[in-house]
Amino acid sequence: MPKKEKGTIKVSNINDEKSHKHPFHTKLCDLLNIEYPIIQGALGGGVSGADLTAAVSNAGGLGVLAAWGLSMDKLRVAIRQTRDLTSKPFALNIMPVNRPFTQSRTELAIEEGIEIVTTGRGDPRAPIIKLLKSHGIKVLGVVPTVRHALRLEAEGVDALVASGCEAGGHVGKVSTMPLIPQVVDAVKIPVVAAGGIMDARGFLAALALGACGVQMGTRFMAAEESAALPEEKQRIVEAGEEDTVVTEIFTGKPVRVISSPRLNSLLKAMKDGLSPEETRARILELRKKKKTQEPGYNSVTSGQGAGLIHEILPAGEIVRQIITEAQTLYKRLDPWA
Ligand SMILES: Cc1cc2nc3c(=O)[nH]c(=O)nc-3n(C[C@H](O)[C@H](O)[C@H](O)COP(=O)(O)O)c2cc1C
């Protein structure tokens, strides 16, 4: 662990007035060749498919196609569909769930000429990063701690997405506010903030913490172009900040979801000593019915920031709103403006 440099605050992301670049043009924009430092987090199970990915990229952010949940054939089709819908850069997310999955999707990314890969929960491993980089592919690794950040930096990723435990999907234990500056202080490569960022306030806060951009999942899940079910988007719009729980029952790793009555009662029963057989049976039932709209069963993968989402908007509008409102808000933060 490098010695901490106390008192050195690394915040250099906002361009001064003399710069001809957009005020939120950061080094992430240069690295990825995008206009605004906003990444749409991968949404597995086909939720961030070609439509959402292309819409975010067309709006000047970085759209990310998720590999998880798609067969090789379907993923190849989705990559080609995305290319038909945008000429702007987009990324492929390869969540390193197991070695065969990571290897096969990496080979597909190379075959299809993908330019940017993001990873997710887990270690993509140094040989995979080296292989991607040897084909000129930029790699962004998602990390939940400083320890993971240092490992991925040493393995050669171009940038990191530090993701706090407020996030939707797989989560660690540290929340965004303390995580981002600690990762920023520990590494030399660009750091993107994720977890709980839904609007211009979160965007500016992330830049103030030293991040050079944001990755947003839940906000884009509730976008018009996302392939989430209309009922799932509605649950996000209706959810408040206390409505999510973190549970390992779906994937064996901690995942944040908007809870359901059945999930709540199972978690309580497990705490009260439910037998292993009964626990297993009820977990299987819940996993099977997670995506169904059967009342009582429908947990929706989502972050705590769902409480900040009040409407379903086109993805491009979400990007534009954040950038426009952040400019107004930034001026308001300056007491001399
Ligand atoms: C429905 C859903 C599915 C997700 N699937 C993936 C995935 O396949 N791969 C991945 O790396 N991250 C995945 N994530 C995490 C997001 O990419 C993103 O990092 C996270 O949502 C950021 O936190 P936020 O939801 O507070 O914006 C998923 C998140 C959600 C809500």
Cα 311 to middle of ligand 1, angstroms: 19
Ligand 1 proximity of 202 Cβ (cutoff 6 Å): no
pLDDT of residue 15: 61
CA distances from 251 to 125, 150, 169, 170, 284 (A): 21, 26, 10, 9, 11
pLDDT of residue 6: 54
Flag whether pLDDT at 216 surpasses 70. yes
Give one DSSP letter per residue of 271-311, joined into a string. Answer: HTT--HHHHHHHHHHHHHHTTS--TTT--EE--GGGGG--S
- 205 with 315, same domain: the answer is yes
- Minimum mean pLDDT range among 2-6, 49-53, 137-141, 319-323: 2-6
What would you report as the CA-atom Rg of the chain, rounded to the nearest whole angstrom?
A: 20
Cα 195 to middle of ligand 1, angstroms: 9
Flag whether pLDDT at 229 surpasses 80. yes
- 197 with 291, same domain: the answer is no
- 194 with 319, same domain: the answer is yes
Give the model confidence (pLDDT) of 107-123 as tens digits.
999 999 999 999 998 88
The secondary structure of residue 250, as a DSSP letter, is T
- Minimum mean pLDDT range among 191-200, 204-213, 238-247, 294-303: 294-303
Position 197 in a domain: yes
- 195 with 273, same domain: the answer is no
Regarding pTM above 0.75, the answer is yes
Cα 48 to middle of ligand 1, angstroms: 10
Phi-psi region of 251 (alpha: psi -120 to 50; beta: other; left: phi over 0): alpha
Flag whether pLDDT at 74 surpasses 90. yes
Ligand 1 proximity of 66 Cβ (cutoff 6 Å): yes
Determine the structural domain holding residue 224 and report its residue range. 27-228+310-333
Average pLDDT over residues 189-212: 98
Position 16 in a domain: no
- Minimum mean pLDDT range among 14-28, 106-120, 191-205, 319-333: 14-28
Domain count, the chain: 2
Mean pLDDT of the chain: 92
Please count the residues of the chain.
337
Nearest-atom number in ligand 1 for the CA of 216 is: 27
CB atoms within 10 A of CB 306: 26
pLDDT of residue 22: 77
Flag whether pLDDT at 194 surpasses 70. yes
Contact indicator for 43, 93 with CB cutoff of 8 Å: no
- 68 with 84, same domain: the answer is yes
The secondary structure of residue 64, as a DSSP letter, is E
Position 52 in a domain: yes
- In testing the pocket of ligand 1, which one of 38, 40, 43 has its CB within 8 Å of the most ligand atoms? 43
Position 284 in a domain: yes
Confidence of residue 65 (pLDDT cuts 50, 70, 90): very high
Helices H / strands E in the chain, number of each: 13, 12
Helix residue ranges per DSSP H, the chain: 27-32, 50-58, 72-85, 99-111, 126-134, 146-155, 176-186, 200-208, 218-221, 230-238, 261-271, 276-289, 315-333
Q: Which two tokens stand for residue 324?
A: 């426009």
- CA 279/CA 240 separation, integer angstroms: 28
Give the model confidence (pLDDT) of 152-167 as tens digits.
999 999 999 999 999 9
